Chain A
Amino acid sequence: MADLSINFAGIKSPNPFWLASAPPTNSGAQIHRAFEYGWGGAVWKTIGAPVLNVSNRYGAWHYGGQKMLAINNVELISDRPLEVNLREIRDVKRHWPDRAVIVSAMVESTPEAWRDIILKIEDTGADGIELNYGCPHGMSERGMGSAVGQVPEYCQQITQWVMDVAKIPVIVKLTPNVASVVPPARAALAAGANALSLINTINSIIGIDLDTLEITPSIGGKGGHGGYAGPAVKPIALNLLSSLGVDPVVKQSGVPISGMGGISTWRDAAEFLLLGATSLQVCTAVMHYGYRIIEDLTDGLNAWMDAKGFKTIADVVGKSLPRISDFKDFDLSFRAVARINPDKCIQCNLCYVACNDTAHQCIDLVDASGNRVQPYSYDVRSNGKHEAVSTRPQPVVREDDCVGCRLCHNVCPVDGCIEMVELPSGRPSITWDELTKARPELATDWEAMKRYREEVGIEIH
C-alpha cells in the first residue's frame, strides 16, 4: 500500500484529496460528513463580505445522454453569516485534528478588512488560508475575486497585506480568466505566498434554452456569464497547472501547488499529480455524485501507485513535467502510422469516414478478395444480416500515405484496435528550432521548403 499522506506547505492531510471551496464545503455538518467518508481535507466555502444569492444558480452542460459534463454557476461566496461559519470551522477542526481545514476568504480590498478576517480565521484553529482571487461573477463587480486575480499588481499588494498578518500557511487561488497564469502567480510569490492553487472557474455561458430562448440558468428571464467547472475543464486546468510547473520562477520558489478543475476520478487525480500538483481539490464531481466518490479516488490512486512502484505522493508529483515542451522542440523526423487490427475491428467505418472526409484519404475499404470497394455499393435488393455481415469490407490503412495524424485512432470505438505504429522515417532526427537555425530561409520561403522536402524525401499526399 502506497502512502497517500501529504505535507502541503506545512498543512498535513492523510490523502491529497480536499474538497474545493464551493457548495460541498458550505457548512460544518457537511464537512463532518465528508470527513467521515474519508476526505483528506476541505477548503471552506469562501467567507467574507455580506452577499445575497439568487435562485437558478447553476447551469449544466449535458452531452450525448451524459449529464453534467460541466457546470456553470452564478453563485457568490458563503451567504451564511461570518460568525456562524467561524464557529463551525472551529468545531470541525476540533473534531478532526488529522484533516486539513483551510478557509477560503475574500473581502473588500483594504488592508484593514484583510487583517480583520485573517485574525478571525486563525482564531478558529484552521490549518491554512486560501485567498480567493478567482470568482468571475458578482464579486468581481465589487472589486474582488477575479478583479484582483487578473491584475498582478493587485495580487501582489493584497497578498502582501495578508502575509504581513498571517501566521498559518497562505495559498493564493488563481483565476484561469487571464492570458497567462504565470504573472499573477509570480506576483503572489513575490509577496511571499506559501502556496498556489488553480483553477477557479472559467468565464462561460453554458447554453440557451431552446424553448424559452433564455440564457441558462435563467434568473427571472435574465442570465449571463458564470463560472465553468467540471470534467470538461480538465484539459484547460492541466495546461495552466503545467505552465506553472515549467515556469522557472515558480519552480525556484519551491512552493507547492494545489491542483483542481475537472477532477472526477483517480485517473484525473494521477494526471494532476504527474503535472506538479501536490494536493488535489474536487468540487463538481462531488456535486454530481456526493462525498462517497472519495473511496474510489483513494483506492484507485493507491492501486495505480502500487502497480507503478510509487511509494509516496512525492514520488509522483511532477513526474511528467520534464516531458512538457514546445512545438519547436518536437522531432520533425518522428514517424507514426495507423495500423488496424482486423481481428478487433467491428467494421463501424468511423475511421474510414473520418480519414476520408477530414484527414488524408488513406483508409481503403477492401473486400474479401482484396479489392478496393466504394461505400454503399450493395444492391438495393440485398438484405438480411448474413449478407450484410459476410460481404462487409474491411478498412485498411495505406501506410505510405498516412500522415500519422491519429484521427482514426481517436475515433475508433474499440480499445487497441487502431495502433499508431512507429516506423523509421529514414531521416535523422531534427527539430524546427535546429532546422531553422541551420537554414533560416525555410521559415519564410515556400520554394526553399519545397527543395528541402525533395532533398530529404518528404512527400505530402
Chain B
Amino acid sequence: MQIIKPEEVLSEYHPPLTDHEAVVEANRCLYCYDAPCTHACPTHIDIPRFIKKIATGNLVGSARTILESNLMGATCARVCPVEELCEGACVLGAEHKPIMIGRLQRYATDYVYEHGIDVFKPGAPTGKKVAVIGAGPAGLTCAGELAKLGHSVTVFEKRELPNGLSTYGIIVLREPVEVALAEAEMVRRLGVEIKTQMELGRNLSWEEVRNNFDAVFLSVGLGSVPQLGIPGEELIVDGLSYIETSKMNPQALQVGREVVVIGAGNTAVDCATIAKRLGAERVTMVYRRTDKEMTAYPHEYEFAKKEGIEFRFLTQPVEVLHEGGKITGLKCVRMQLGAPDASGRPAPEPVPGSEFVLPCDQVVKAIGQEKPAVAKLLGLETEKGFIKVNHEFETSLPGVYAGGDCIRAKGSASTVMAVQDGKLAAFAIHRRLVAGLEAAAD
C-alpha cells in the first residue's frame, strides 16, 4: 500500500518564484499608468509600483508598497482569486498571459517575513483605546492600521490562534499556517495586544468592552456550517472542521474511501481536494443546481476536475443511510430548474420519484456558514442576517464598527475584501478619535 504523507500531499501548491523568474516576470509588466490591475484589486495595491521595485531589486520597498494598502498581503498573495481581480484585469491578459501578480506579491512579502524585516513602525501614541473583536484578516488589518496611527489596540479572539480563517480555514495547499501566524505577529510587533481564548459573550462581557475602549471594531466572521435537516445528519462531517483538522493535525483526519461532499462552493472544493489527496478513491461533489449556478470560481472548478473530483449536479441529498453507526450511502433526489427564486437564480425543484443512492462511507457538508451570532447578542441592526453598517462601517451602535465576512450582505466573502473593510474602518475610527482629541484640546 502506498503511504500518504499529509505534509507532502497537502503542502503549498505553487512553488515560490525563483529570483530569476521574479525578475523576468517583473520586467514583463508594462508599468501601466492608473493601472486596471490596481483598480480591480479590492485594496487597490499600487501593483505597477510594487512590481517595478521587484524589477529594480528593491524588495523591501516592494513589500512596503504592498503592505501599505494591504496588511495581509502575504495571505492575499496566495488566496486571492486573482483571475477575478487584478490578474483578470491585466492589460496583457487579452492577447498574452497576464502578469503573475499574485506570485510576485508573494515573492516580495515572503522576502520581508523571511528576513524578519518590519516595514512599519507604531505611530506616536494618541492615548485612545480601541477594541477589536475577532482576530481574522479584517480585525488584524484594522488593528494594525490603528496602531500605525498611534492608537492603543487590543484584539480579543475566541480561538487559540489568531488570523481567523487564514489560520483555520484555508487549506495548506493554498497557504501554510506559518504565513497566517507571521502576519499576526507582524501586527503584534506594531504594538497591538492580541488576547486569544477570549470570546465576546462567554468570558468577555460587552460592558467590559464598552467601558474600557473609545471605539470597537467587530470582525467576528461567520459561524459554523448550518444544518441540512435530513435524517442521519449527525453522521455528516462538518466541512470547516474537516479543513481545520487537515491543517492542525493532519495525521488525525479520518478520510473515507468513497467520499461525498455536499455543496459546490470554494469550501466544498477544498474539502474534496483534501479527501482526494489524502487517499479517498472516489470523491463526488453533489449540488442541487447546475455548474452555471455553483459559487466556486471557474478556476476552482477546473482545478477540482483536474484533481479527479467528480460532480453530480441537480442532486439533492435527502437522507444519510447507515448501518451500526457507519455510513453506507447518501440517498438523493434528482432536481430540475424551475422559475427564478429570490436570489434571481432558477429555483431547483425535486423530480418526483427520482430517488437514488450514492454509495459512500463519508459525507462532508460545505454549504456555507451561519450568520454572525454577535448581532443578536448586541441587538445590532442586521441586513439579511449580516451586521448592518453605514458608509463609514459604523453599526447601529455609535462608536461600534464592523467589517469582514460578518457584514458581507452583498458581494463575495474573501480575505481581500475583509482587509479592505478593516483598513477603511480603521480610517473611519481614526477620524472619529482624532475629532475627539481635537475637541478635547479646544
Give the interface of A toward B (CB within 8 A): 64-66, 346-350, 352-353, 365, 375-376, 378, 380-385, 387-389, 391-392, 413
**B418-433: which residues lie under 8 A (CB-CB) from chain A?**
420, 424
Interface residue tally for chain B (C-beta within 8 Å): 31
Task: Give A63's nearest chain B residue, CB to CB.
Answer: B27
Q: Which of B32, B34, B37, B55 has the most CB of A within 10 A?
A: B34
**Known contacts A347-B36, A348-B91, A385-B40: does B30 contact A65 (CB below 8 Å)?**
no
| Contact residue among A64, A352, A384 (Cβ-Cβ distance under 8 Å from B84) | A384
Contacts of A381 in B (CB 8 A): 420, 424
| Contact residue among A66, A350, A387, A391 (Cβ-Cβ distance under 8 Å from B32) | A350
Verify A348–B40 contact, CB threshold 8 A.
no
Contacts of B36 in A (CB 8 A): 347, 385, 388-389, 392
Verify A385–B85 contact, CB threshold 8 A.
yes
Verify B23–A353 contact, CB threshold 8 A.
no
SS class, residues of chain B in contact with chain A: helix
Verify B33–A385 contact, CB threshold 8 A.
no
| Contact residue among B27, B32, B91 (Cβ-Cβ distance under 8 Å from A64) | B27
Q: How far is B44's CA from A381's CA once the two chains are assembled, in angstroms?
A: 9
Verify A347–B91 contact, CB threshold 8 A.
yes
Contacts of B420 in A (CB 8 A): 381, 383
CB B389 to nearest CB in A, in angstroms, measures: 12
**Known contacts A65-B24, A385-B40, A387-B39: does B91 contact A346 (CB below 8 Å)?**
yes
List 10 other contacts, CB 8 Å, given A346-B92, A383-B85. A65-B23, A348-B35, A350-B33, A376-B34, A383-B420, A384-B40, A385-B84, A387-B39, A388-B36, A389-B36
Contacts of A348 in B (CB 8 A): 30, 32-33, 35, 91
Would you list 13 pairs from A and B whose C-beta atoms are within 8 A, ordered by A residue? A66-B27, A346-B91, A346-B92, A347-B91, A348-B30, A349-B35, A350-B31, A352-B34, A353-B33, A381-B424, A383-B44, A388-B37, A389-B40
Contacts of B89 in A (CB 8 A): 385, 388-389
| Contact residue among B30, B34, B94, B95 (Cβ-Cβ distance under 8 Å from A375) | B34
**Known contacts A65-B23, A389-B89: does B39 contact A382 (CB below 8 Å)?**
yes
Q: How far is B30's CA from A350's CA once the two chains are assembled, in angstroms?
A: 8
Task: Give A373's nearest chain B residue, CB to CB.
Answer: B34
Contacts of A347 in B (CB 8 A): 32, 36, 91
CB B97 to nearest CB in A, in angstroms, measures: 14
Q: How far is B24's CA from A387's CA once the two chains are assembled, in angstroms?
A: 29
Contacts of A378 in B (CB 8 A): 39
B41 within 8 A of A: yes
B399 within 8 A of A: no
Contacts of A383 in B (CB 8 A): 39-42, 44, 85, 417, 420
CB B216 to nearest CB in A, in angstroms, measures: 22
B88 within 8 A of A: yes
Q: How far is B274's CA from A84's CA once the two chains are assembled, in angstroms?
A: 70
Contact with A along B30-62 (1 / 0, CB 8 A): 111111110111101000000000010000000
CB B170 to nearest CB in A, in angstroms, measures: 20
Q: How far is B89's CA from A387's CA once the two chains are assembled, in angstroms?
A: 9
**Known contacts A382-B39, A384-B85: does B27 contact A349 (CB below 8 Å)?**
no
CB B161 to nearest CB in A, in angstroms, measures: 29
Verify B30–A388 contact, CB threshold 8 A.
no
**Known contacts A346-B91, A348-B91: does B40 contact A413 (CB below 8 Å)?**
no
Contacts of B44 in A (CB 8 A): 380, 383
Verify B32–A349 contact, CB threshold 8 A.
yes
Verify A64–B39 contact, CB threshold 8 A.
no
Contacts of A66 in B (CB 8 A): 27
CB B98 to nearest CB in A, in angstroms, measures: 10
Contacts of A380 in B (CB 8 A): 44, 424
Task: Give B31's nearest chain A residue, CB to CB.
Answer: A350
CB B65 to nearest CB in A, in angstroms, measures: 16
Task: Give A395's nearest chain B residue, CB to CB.
Answer: B33
Q: How far is B30's CA from A388's CA once the two chains are assembled, in angstroms?
A: 17
Contacts of B24 in A (CB 8 A): 65
Q: Which of B27, B89, B94, B420 has the most CB of A within 10 A?
A: B89
Verify A65–B55 contact, CB threshold 8 A.
yes
B146 within 8 A of A: no
B26 within 8 A of A: yes
Q: How far is B37's CA from A381's CA once the two chains are assembled, in angstroms?
A: 14
